[in-house]
Amino acid sequence: RLWSGLLSGTLQRLWFGLLSGTLQRLWSGLWPGTLQYLWSGVAV
């Protein structure tokens, strides 16, 4: 019982960490690119 609870908790934490990390990386990569694209469009 304790073992399965520990395992599922660990998997959940790993999954959540991976998911939030991926979203964060996508967001931080997407946002500057979008700003740059908009800025170059406005500049031209």
Identify which of 28, 37, 12 has the alpha carbon closest to the alpha carbon of residue 4: 12
CA distance 34 to 44: 15
pLDDT of 1 over the 80 cut: no
Extents of the domains making up the chain: 1-44
Rounded to whole angstroms, how far apart are CA atoms 33 and 40?
10
The predicted-structure confidence for 3-40, as pLDDT tens digits, reads as follows 888 889 999 999 999 888 888 888 888 888 888 888 88
Greater confidence (12 vs 44) lies with 12
Query: What pTM value is reported for the model?
Result: 0.48
Q: Is pLDDT of 43 > 80?
A: no
> Per-residue b/e over 25-36, b at no fewer than 16 CB within 10 Å?
eeeeeeeeeeee
